[in-house]
Structure formats: structure tokens, C-alpha cells
Structure 1
């Protein structure tokens, strides 16, 4: 697995990356996300897109898709 990097160094060109983030209940999740409209967005289910505040990232791999 690729080492995680600080979110400040993540690409903001619309490419998809794997991020680690913590929800309001304190549960840490890992998901695919991309920078759009001034923030990080991920799908939390097949129909629901959510803005998140990730803490770290790594390149998306074929295993993530």
C-alpha cells in the first residue's frame, strides 16, 4: 500500500484520490474523493455526494475502484 500524504499536498485538478476522513461521530473512513467547487467530495452511497474534510491522501489504485 502506498504511504499516506498530508491532504495539503493532494492534487486539486479534479483527479480522484483515496482519502482518509473522520465523520461527525468520530468514525474514520477511507474513500475515493476529488476536489470540486472549492472542497473535497465523496459519494457515501450510490446516490449521495458529501463534502468532507480529509486528513490525508494517497493515489487511487485499481483496488479502490
Structure 2
């Protein structure tokens, strides 16, 4: 598994990466997300997307060379 990196270094070209973010209850989540429309977005279920404020990132599992 790839090491997490500061979110400032994440690609903002629309590619999907795994991001770490906290929800409204302060619970840390890890989700595949992408930067678009001026922010980071994740799917909370198969139909719902949410804008989040991530703290770190790593390549998404499909792009992770260590798997």
C-alpha cells in the first residue's frame, strides 16, 4: 500500500485517488475521491456524492503499484 501524502500534493486533474477526510462527527474516513468543480468529492453511496475537506491522499487501489 502506498504511503499517504499531504493533500496539497494530490493531482487536481480529475483523476481518482484515495483520500482521508473527517465527517461531521469527527470520524476519519478513507474513500476514493476526485478533485473537480473547485473541491474534493467522494461517493457516500452509489448515487450520492459529497464535497469533503481531505487531509491526505494516496493513489487509488487500481493505480497502486504495490498491490
Q: What TM-score results when the alignment is normalised by the length of structure 2? A: 0.90
1:2-43 Cα shifts (integer Å, max 9, x gaps): 100000000000000000000010110000000010000000
Runs of 4+ in 1 over 3 A off after TM superposition: none
1:40-59 correspondence to structure 2 within 5 Å: 40-59=40-59
How far is 1:61 from its partner?
A: 1.5
Match of 2:13 in 1: 13
Q: What TM-score results when the alignment is normalised by the length of structure 1? A: 0.93
Match of 1:29 in 2: 29
Greater fraction of residues in helix: 2
C-alpha RMSD of matched pairs (Å): 1.2
- What is the alpha-carbon distance in structure 1 between the residues aligned to residue 9 and residue 16 of structure 2? 14
- What is the alpha-carbon distance in structure 2 between the residues aligned to residue 34 and residue 26 of structure 1? 21
